Amino acid sequence: MATALITGINGFTGHYLAEELHTAGYTVVGLSSTEIEPSGSRVNYLCNVLDREQLVNILTQVKPDVVVHLAAIAFVAHNDVDAMYRTNVVGTRNLLEAIIKSKHIPRSVLLASSANIYGNALIEPIDEIVSAAPANDYAVSKLSMEYMARLWMDRLPITVVRPFNYTGAGQSVNFLIPKIVDHFKRRAPILELGNLDVVRDFSDVRSVVQRYRLLLESKTQGEVFNVCSGQGHSLLDVLQIMQEVSGHNPEIKVNPAFVRANEVHRLVGSSAKLDAVIGKVPAIPLQNTLQWMFNHTL
């Protein structure tokens, strides 16, 4: 059985990726900077990616066949910019350095970047050759991570993924779609949002982790891939679907405090490059994802 090491396994994506890889027959080893619930199907390590010595020790011990690096500060509006850059850039460098120092090279190292690096691109759909134009610190930190990772591509089989927006049951209500679903689930009378006209390419987390697994099993390295559905939905679309799903019709208010100064207005991607490598993975319709989130109970 191949061994997969997932950093950030305690996060939203890490949880689903661990299940995807375990089901596919991998032995899953998890790293997290926060306490991890015991799991009978995997070994877990409490480790911050800023701890270089511990990273080397763990990688030397585990000798993973594949590595997926998800550990990051992924909330765009996170208020500790210093921590964001240290975790997303320096933390990633520490991991790559630790892999080299462990003297065991995995067959694949998958690094999660973000489609936020494209900013307000004037082309739609956005493919991988569109120039980066990051519009916030989170996006800059991810683009910086990509440039840093290039320094290691002659020594490690690195693949970079740029996921567009995705969601699913269990995502924190700090994020927009879970916040909306939560309000409808509680039948809250008022829902305050920012710009209602933004358009995003929303995927289901289950489709995203399936694509990650298929990429790990491909022979690709040194490449960058969008991970997206290729369909754009406005927040008004999301609200209409949630009204149909729930039978609830709250008052929608635009709160100026929620309107970001550097808002990316449209972000819709092309998955053609990825599809050519792993095959076309059927997208889960947004309505199905929202229905799943609405019905889900913790």
- Tokens 């550990």 identify what position? 71
147 catalytic residue (yes or no): no
Q: Which residue in 26, 85, 138, 212 is the catalytic one?
A: 138
**Residues found in the chain:** 298
Centre a 10 Å sphere on the Cβ of residue 156 and count the other Cβ atoms it contains. 18
Q: Which of 216, 208, 81 is nearest to 144 (CA)?
A: 81
Contact 211, 277 (CB under 8 A): no
CA-CA-CA-CA torsion for 55, 56, 58, 59, nearest 10 degrees? 110
Contact 228, 275 (CB under 8 A): no
Rg (CA), the chain: 19
Joined together, the tokens standing for residue 288 give 């199905």
What CA–CA distances, in Å, run from 240 to 195, 220, 255, 266, 286?
16, 40, 19, 19, 12
Beta bridge partners of 254: 193
Joined together, the tokens standing for residue 105 give 């090279």
Centre a 10 Å sphere on the Cβ of residue 157 and count the other Cβ atoms it contains. 17
φ, ψ dihedrals at 229, nearest 5°? -95, -25
Joined together, the tokens standing for residue 185 give 């689930």
Which active-site residues does the annotation give? 138
